[in-house]
Amino acid sequence: MADRVVVITGAASGIGRATALKFAREGDKVVVADLNGSGQDIAKQITKDGGKATFIKTDVSKQEDVQNLVDKAVELYGSIDVMFNNAGIGDMGSILEPNIDSYHKTIGVNQHGVAYGIFAAGRKMKELNVNGVIINTASVFGYMANKGTFAYQASKGAVRMMTQTAALELAPFAIRVVGVAPGGVDTPIIQGYKDKGMLEHLKKQQMREQLIQPEAIANAVYLLSLKEADVINGSIVMLDDGYASFK
Ligand code: NAD
């Protein structure tokens, strides 16, 4: 399966970064997309290690940025086989005293960012007649209520349904759309939990009572991208060490 063109958003850090490194190690060409310019370092690291990667600065909450990302990826590498709509931000906000700016920002990145990625990659894959795969990062929080993260829950619930609907609409073109729902992963996004002294609580949500390493998520995303995973379509795959299945 090597030598595919893989576009990954939020690839400067955490899950996206680990996934960029994984695909590159497997021989795919990786387009590292992030708002944070340090994504450039990931692309440089991949190139230094003998892989192929390019950084494209992208704000996924802007439709024109995401369209540009997909267009540039195809210009550079001739195709787009995998689109990993992964960029996301955390949000801690109360319902009774909502921070409206933070609400809109969270929906803008986590929900609209994924939608723009589906639109751009779906159209391009159809145009190029590529039997591609679009993978979207949801969360266990797309399945369960949690206090104090209203916008985040809403955005991740939306990712679930956008994944299912996109899979249905793109199926006639043999384009698969799959979601992943990580549990607690050891990345900078959980800093808010650490600051609130909730790290031990978060660890206990996994059956093995440890945070998940981003590389474990990357490995699962890679598996889902393969032809061998062809039957997995329109599903959200829990990557959560049991988080969502016990109390
Ligand atoms: P992270 O903070 O390490 O990485 C997120 C990346 O997204 C960063 O590089 C950041 O710069 C980028 N980003 C933020 N806003 C952006 C924008 N507007 N445009 C482009 N890039 C932007 O966190 P992570 O844990 O790797 O998060 C990746 C995804 O996984 C997110 O969608 C997150 O919601 C989801 N997730 C994480 C966990 C967890 O416990 N870490 C659990 C479930 C789901």
Instruction: Kindly state the helix (H) or strand (E) to which residue 153 belongs, with its residue range.
Output: helix 150-170
pTM of the model: 0.98
Are 24 and 7 spatial neighbours (Cβ–Cβ below 8 Å)? no
pLDDT at position 123 is 98
Are 93 and 99 spatial neighbours (Cβ–Cβ below 8 Å)? yes
Are 9 and 62 spatial neighbours (Cβ–Cβ below 8 Å)? no
Q: Is the pLDDT of residue 1 over 70?
A: no
pLDDT at position 93 is 82
pLDDT at position 200 is 97
C-beta 16 within 6 A of ligand 1: yes
C-beta 142 within 6 A of ligand 1: no
Q: Is the pLDDT of residue 90 over 80?
A: yes
We find that the CATH architecture of domain 5-239 is 3-Layer(aba) Sandwich (3.40)
Alpha carbon of 11 to ligand 1 centroid (Å): 8
The two three-digit tokens of residue 125, written as one number: 């894959």
Ligand 1 atom nearest to 110, measured from its CA: 32
pLDDT at position 247 is 77
pLDDT at position 92 is 83
The two three-digit tokens of residue 52, written as one number: 């192929």
pLDDT at position 9 is 99
C-beta 12 within 6 A of ligand 1: yes
